[in-house]
Amino acid sequence: MMKNNGAKQGGVGRKEKSPTPRNKNLHADESRDPYLNEQPEGEPARCSVCGNIYANKRWYRADQYELEEGENALNFTCPGCRKVKDNYYYGELRVSGTFAQEHHGDISGLIQNEVHRRQEKNPLSKLVEVEIDRGKKPEIVFHTTNGKLAENIGRALKNAFGGELTIKKPKPLTRVYWSRK
């Protein structure tokens, strides 16, 4: 699998030329997300990685659903965690600017909160990977399991800290750029 980050290999980060996802596995349009086709064959089921619960034909965040006492849950890795494992993403958020470098802690905190909040509606929303792209213009790159999550995080950053937000949706990837000097 291709990693998209020159920094990890000690090379020089490069600017992307096309909106083509670098992840070779990423091919299906998000409306036909292949990971959602695979669901547990029985209920309830619990994700062995994050604790999400599958019941009533949907996923709940671990703290949103309580199993009855003595109730056994099937073991199943939820589609969100499978995407994380496979490095399969539909959203990319690139954060740049000196503000981000100086307020790294605030920004990470806000992003974690936003992910947690969004998981109430969609427990399969997760950060897939966080990388530093040390190109000419250093960026922190966040990959997200769904495009909406990248968009929501971008809007939350803009609401909290101002700056400039750009959202592009070249299928199948949603690309979000947030920057503040």
Catalog residues that contact Zn ion under the rule CB under 5 A: 47, 49-50, 52, 78, 81
Give bridge partners of residue 164 from the DSSP assignment. Answer: 179
User: Which is nearer to Zn ion, 21 or 123 (by Cβ)?
Assistant: 123
Q: Residue 113 Cβ, how far from Zn ion at the closest point, in Å?
A: 19
Which residue type sits at 38?
E
- Residue 50 to residue 60: CA distance in whole angstroms: 11
What is residue 126's three-state secondary structure?
A: coil
User: Which is nearer to Zn ion, 78 or 173 (by Cβ)?
Assistant: 78
Q: Residue 89 Cβ, how far from Zn ion at the closest point, in Å?
A: 15
Q: Residue 50 Cβ, how far from Zn ion at the closest point, in Å?
A: 3
User: Which is nearer to Zn ion, 90 or 99 (by Cβ)?
Assistant: 90
Q: Residue 175 Cβ, how far from Zn ion at the closest point, in Å?
A: 25
Distances (CA, A) of 75 to 39, 40, 126, 129: 11, 8, 19, 24
User: Which is nearer to Zn ion, 87 or 135 (by Cβ)?
Assistant: 87
Rg (CA), the chain: 17
Which of these, 181, 146, 151, lies nearest to 166 by C-alpha position? 151
User: Which is nearer to Zn ion, 124 or 140 (by Cβ)?
Assistant: 124
Map tokens 């019941």 to a residue. 55
Q: Residue 64 Cβ, how far from Zn ion at the closest point, in Å?
A: 13
